[in-house]
Homo-oligomer: A and B are copies of this chain.
Amino acid sequence: MKMQDLDTPALIIDLDKLELNIRDMANFARQQGVKLRPHIKSHKIPEIALMQVREGAVGVTVAKLGEAEVMAQAGIEDILIANQITGPAKIKRLLELAERVRVCVAVDSREGAGLLSQAAVGRNLQLGVVVEVDSGLRRCGVLPGEEVVDLAKDIMELPGLSFEGIMTHAGHVYGMESWQEAVEVGRREGELMLEVARLLEGAGIAAKEVSVGSTPTAKVSGQVKGVTELRPGNYVFYDAIQIALGVVGPERCALTVLSTVISTPAPDRVVLDAGSKTLALDKGAHGASLVKGFGIILGGDGLPESSLTIERLSEEHGVVAVEAGFSPEKPKLNARVRIIPNHACTVINLFDQVYGVRGEVVETVWKVAARGKLQ
């Protein structure tokens, strides 16, 4: 099957670019001597997780227990849940999973650790936990400093828990306005975590893992000596937000939405069959606003990208502004375009399946098996 045979909107993965991106980050981690534990929320596809492991990843990171269950089912044997698991139903599932594969989970309070401990003891299990450190995102996590040492001590006293180290996600990098600022966030992320690791050491506590995350910062914080693990996710695809931050250029973007012009109602406007149900409304991660429009339209039917802006999205319509007097003429009815989405991670979650293509040939169809795993 050729790409032109696919109906739209369809989600396309360029397999050459995907493989390049996976190898590139794996090589970086290998050269730095740090572990790579990619976050699978960006793709939610077991086949891609297995590619990452084949290229040297020690395991994966997930955001939700349901994602962990899908990955374990697919044969991934070492999973970090980089989130707080606090409710009784989820803690039960977490421990069931821990009986099958190696699982480690984040904690950011004594109370949360106590709930895990109690349940682990009840099942006669030893559950690995890492303390989540807030390196600036101001979401979950303990502020770097003595509070981390106190919580680590608490964990070491609690039965059923094994203190594995510290983790952070410098997601506030998506609020930066230049690559220089992003680099500074990455440097600070690594250094803060090192300071915390030294505080722990001073208290006689070994942090086996000093784990940092995020695609923009991975190659910066990953160079800080003492960091042991990287957890980027988006790098498998990259997207318009990564381009806006200066992380890569469009040539590295492996994920595109294939869309069709379904209406040409006015001289300055055409309408696509891709709206917010397809492209998502993200303009930056965590509420930041980094990009213009709702995706980058690549050449389709010979059109360069620069003249077209996806100005507005309804659920099922993308309204594209066409520059007046632009030549070649504006896209015709049933013309097709390929769009680099603003945020690959949220777009993947809107599709049940993706097409893996090499050039124009559709080589594979993957189910987005961990899509919609909210619990």
Q: Write the residues of chain A forming the contact surface with B, with a CB cutoff of 8 angstroms.
A: 7-10, 41, 63-64, 83-87, 89-90, 108-109, 111-112, 134, 138-142, 171, 260, 262-266, 269, 271, 276-278, 280-282, 285-287, 312-317, 319, 333-334, 345-346, 349-352, 372, 374-375
Contacts and interface: CB of A to CB of B under 8 A. Distances in A.
A86 B333 contact: yes
B334 A87 contact: yes
B140 A317 contact: yes
A137 to B, nearest CB: 8
Contacts of A334: 86-87
A281 B280 contact: yes
Contacts of A269: 138
User: Max chain B CB contacts within 10 Å: which of A139, A262, A372, A374?
Assistant: A374
A263 B140 contact: yes
A10 B90 CA distance: 13
Given A90-B7, A346-B315, A375-B8, A262 B84 contact: yes
Contacts of A316: 41, 63-64, 83
B346 A372 contact: no
Copies of this chain in its oligomeric complex = 2
Contacts of A372: 277, 350-352
Given A141-B263, A142-B265, 9 more contacts: A83-B317, A84-B271, A108-B263, A139-B265, A139-B312, A276-B282, A276-B346, A286-B314, A351-B374
Contacts of A108: 263, 265
A95 B310 CA distance: 31
A139 B372 CA distance: 30
A265 B87 contact: no
A179 B334 CA distance: 38
A276 B346 CA distance: 8
A87 B260 contact: yes
A286 B312 contact: yes
A143 to B, nearest CB: 8
A315 B90 CA distance: 19
A260 B86 contact: yes
12 contacts: A7-B89, A8-B375, A9-B375, A84-B271, A86-B333, A86-B334, A109-B264, A109-B333, A140-B317, A276-B346, A285-B314, A351-B372
Contacts of A349: 277, 315, 350
